[in-house]
Amino acid sequence: MSTSSASTPDRVRALLDTNVILDVLQRRHPFYDDSAAAMASAETGRIDGPVAAHSVATLFYLHAKHESAAAARMRIVELLGVLSVAAIDHEVLEEALAFDRPDYEDCVQVAAGRRAGADYVVTRDRARYAAVPLPTLTPGELLALLAG
Protein backbone atom coordinates (compact mmCIF):
# COMPACT_ATOMS: atom_id res chain seq x y z
CA MET A 1 0.00 0.00 0.00
CA SER A 2 1.36 3.37 -0.98
CA THR A 3 2.43 5.73 1.75
CA SER A 4 2.44 8.78 -0.49
CA SER A 5 0.49 11.74 0.82
CA ALA A 6 -0.70 12.72 -2.63
CA SER A 7 -4.33 11.99 -3.40
CA THR A 8 -6.10 11.94 -6.71
CA PRO A 9 -9.83 12.39 -7.25
CA ASP A 10 -10.07 8.61 -7.60
CA ARG A 11 -7.95 7.81 -4.56
CA VAL A 12 -8.31 9.59 -1.26
CA ARG A 13 -6.20 9.02 1.81
CA ALA A 14 -8.53 8.38 4.73
CA LEU A 15 -7.35 7.45 8.21
CA LEU A 16 -9.72 4.85 9.61
CA ASP A 17 -10.79 5.44 13.20
CA THR A 18 -10.69 2.59 15.68
CA ASN A 19 -14.50 2.36 15.84
CA VAL A 20 -14.78 1.72 12.10
CA ILE A 21 -12.27 -1.12 12.21
CA LEU A 22 -13.93 -2.60 15.31
CA ASP A 23 -17.25 -2.60 13.46
CA VAL A 24 -15.63 -4.93 10.96
CA LEU A 25 -13.60 -7.08 13.35
CA GLN A 26 -16.54 -7.62 15.67
CA ARG A 27 -19.26 -7.55 13.00
CA ARG A 28 -21.13 -4.84 14.92
CA HIS A 29 -24.55 -4.15 13.47
CA PRO A 30 -26.02 -1.87 12.19
CA PHE A 31 -22.60 -0.36 11.41
CA TYR A 32 -20.92 -3.38 9.84
CA ASP A 33 -21.99 -2.96 6.20
CA ASP A 34 -20.72 0.59 5.67
CA SER A 35 -17.58 0.04 7.75
CA ALA A 36 -16.79 -3.20 5.90
CA ALA A 37 -17.26 -1.44 2.55
CA ALA A 38 -14.91 1.36 3.67
CA MET A 39 -12.31 -1.24 4.68
CA ALA A 40 -12.83 -3.05 1.38
CA SER A 41 -12.04 0.23 -0.39
CA ALA A 42 -8.64 0.16 1.28
CA GLU A 43 -8.15 -3.52 0.48
CA THR A 44 -8.89 -2.99 -3.20
CA GLY A 45 -6.69 0.11 -3.38
CA ARG A 46 -9.55 2.51 -4.00
CA ILE A 47 -8.35 4.50 -0.97
CA ASP A 48 -5.13 4.68 0.96
CA GLY A 49 -6.32 3.77 4.42
CA PRO A 50 -3.83 4.34 7.19
CA VAL A 51 -4.58 3.41 10.77
CA ALA A 52 -2.91 5.24 13.67
CA ALA A 53 -0.19 3.12 15.29
CA HIS A 54 -1.75 3.28 18.74
CA SER A 55 -5.04 2.03 17.31
CA VAL A 56 -3.40 -1.24 16.30
CA ALA A 57 -2.53 -1.99 19.94
CA THR A 58 -6.00 -0.94 21.07
CA LEU A 59 -7.63 -3.11 18.40
CA PHE A 60 -5.56 -6.11 19.47
CA TYR A 61 -6.52 -5.62 23.11
CA LEU A 62 -10.22 -5.19 22.42
CA HIS A 63 -10.43 -8.04 19.91
CA ALA A 64 -8.53 -10.40 22.24
CA LYS A 65 -10.96 -9.47 25.01
CA HIS A 66 -13.91 -10.06 22.66
CA GLU A 67 -12.57 -13.35 21.23
CA SER A 68 -9.02 -14.56 22.00
CA ALA A 69 -5.40 -13.47 21.72
CA ALA A 70 -4.91 -15.94 18.85
CA ALA A 71 -7.89 -14.51 16.97
CA ALA A 72 -6.68 -10.95 17.64
CA ARG A 73 -3.21 -11.79 16.37
CA MET A 74 -4.65 -13.23 13.16
CA ARG A 75 -6.87 -10.17 12.63
CA ILE A 76 -4.00 -7.75 13.20
CA VAL A 77 -1.86 -9.61 10.65
CA GLU A 78 -4.75 -9.29 8.16
CA LEU A 79 -5.25 -5.63 9.04
CA LEU A 80 -1.58 -4.80 8.53
CA GLY A 81 -1.76 -6.48 5.15
CA VAL A 82 -4.45 -4.01 4.08
CA LEU A 83 -3.78 -0.75 5.89
CA SER A 84 -0.67 1.35 6.20
CA VAL A 85 0.28 2.59 9.66
CA ALA A 86 0.35 6.27 10.57
CA ALA A 87 3.33 6.74 12.86
CA ILE A 88 3.10 8.36 16.25
CA ASP A 89 6.14 10.11 17.64
CA HIS A 90 6.95 12.97 19.97
CA GLU A 91 5.91 15.63 17.46
CA VAL A 92 2.56 13.94 16.75
CA LEU A 93 1.84 13.74 20.48
CA GLU A 94 2.70 17.43 20.95
CA GLU A 95 0.56 18.45 17.97
CA ALA A 96 -2.33 16.49 19.48
CA LEU A 97 -1.96 18.41 22.75
CA ALA A 98 -2.15 21.70 20.86
CA PHE A 99 -5.64 20.88 19.57
CA ASP A 100 -6.87 21.43 23.14
CA ARG A 101 -9.82 19.04 22.84
CA PRO A 102 -11.18 16.92 25.69
CA ASP A 103 -10.42 13.55 24.05
CA TYR A 104 -6.67 13.35 23.60
CA GLU A 105 -6.87 9.98 21.84
CA ASP A 106 -8.98 11.51 19.08
CA CYS A 107 -6.48 14.36 18.79
CA VAL A 108 -3.66 11.82 18.41
CA GLN A 109 -5.68 10.18 15.60
CA VAL A 110 -5.95 13.53 13.82
CA ALA A 111 -2.29 14.46 14.31
CA ALA A 112 -1.17 11.03 13.08
CA GLY A 113 -3.51 11.33 10.12
CA ARG A 114 -2.19 14.76 9.21
CA ARG A 115 1.39 13.53 9.43
CA ALA A 116 0.46 10.59 7.16
CA GLY A 117 -1.08 12.97 4.62
CA ALA A 118 -4.67 11.92 5.24
CA ASP A 119 -7.43 13.90 3.59
CA TYR A 120 -10.03 12.71 6.11
CA VAL A 121 -10.64 10.77 9.28
CA VAL A 122 -13.32 8.15 8.74
CA THR A 123 -15.28 7.68 11.94
CA ARG A 124 -18.80 6.97 13.11
CA ASP A 125 -18.53 9.63 15.80
CA ARG A 126 -17.97 12.91 13.96
CA ALA A 127 -18.96 15.02 16.97
CA ARG A 128 -15.82 13.87 18.82
CA TYR A 129 -13.75 15.38 16.03
CA ALA A 130 -15.38 18.81 15.96
CA ALA A 131 -12.98 21.74 15.59
CA VAL A 132 -9.92 19.72 14.61
CA PRO A 133 -7.92 20.52 11.47
CA LEU A 134 -8.81 17.41 9.47
CA PRO A 135 -12.25 16.84 7.94
CA THR A 136 -14.22 13.81 9.03
CA LEU A 137 -16.46 11.47 7.12
CA THR A 138 -18.65 8.62 8.25
CA PRO A 139 -18.07 5.33 6.42
CA GLY A 140 -21.26 5.99 4.45
CA GLU A 141 -20.06 9.47 3.46
CA LEU A 142 -16.74 8.02 2.32
CA LEU A 143 -18.59 5.52 0.16
CA ALA A 144 -20.73 8.32 -1.32
CA LEU A 145 -17.60 10.37 -2.04
CA LEU A 146 -16.06 7.40 -3.82
CA ALA A 147 -19.24 6.76 -5.80
CA GLY A 148 -19.52 10.41 -6.85
Amino acid at 93: L
Answer for the pair 110, 3: CB distance below 8 angstroms, yes or no: no
User: So what's the pLDDT on residue 112?
Assistant: 97
Answer for the pair 124, 143: CB distance below 8 angstroms, yes or no: no
Query: For the chain, how many structural domains are there in total?
Result: 1
Position 9 pLDDT exceeds 70:
no
User: So what's the pLDDT on residue 111?
Assistant: 96
Q: Is residue 7 part of a domain?
A: no
| Nearest Cα residue to 113 out of 136, 144, 90, 147 | 136
Q: What percent of the chain has pLDDT over 70?
A: 93
Here the CATH number for the domain that contains residue 85 is 3.40.50.1010
Q: Is residue 92 part of a domain?
A: yes
Q: Is residue 136 part of a domain?
A: yes
pLDDT classification of 34: cutoffs 50, 70, 90: very high
| Nearest Cα residue to 51 out of 25, 23, 88 | 88
List the domain range (segments joined by +) for residue 37. Answer: 14-141
Q: Is residue 4 part of a domain?
A: no
Question: 26-52 b/e with 16+ CB inside 10 Å = b?
Answer: beeeebeebbbebbebbeeebbbbbbb
Q: Is residue 20 part of a domain?
A: yes
User: So what's the pLDDT on residue 10?
Assistant: 55
Q: Is residue 6 part of a domain?
A: no
Q: Is residue 9 part of a domain?
A: no
Q: Is residue 3 part of a domain?
A: no
Average pLDDT over residues 108-137: 92
Position 104 pLDDT exceeds 70:
yes
- Write down how long the chain is: 148
pTM score of the predicted model: 0.88
pLDDT classification of 115: cutoffs 50, 70, 90: very high
User: So what's the pLDDT on residue 128?
Assistant: 86
Q: What would the pLDDT profile of 36-90 be if each residue is shown by its tens digit?
A: 999 999 999 999 999 999 999 999 999 899 889 999 999 999 999 999 999 999 9
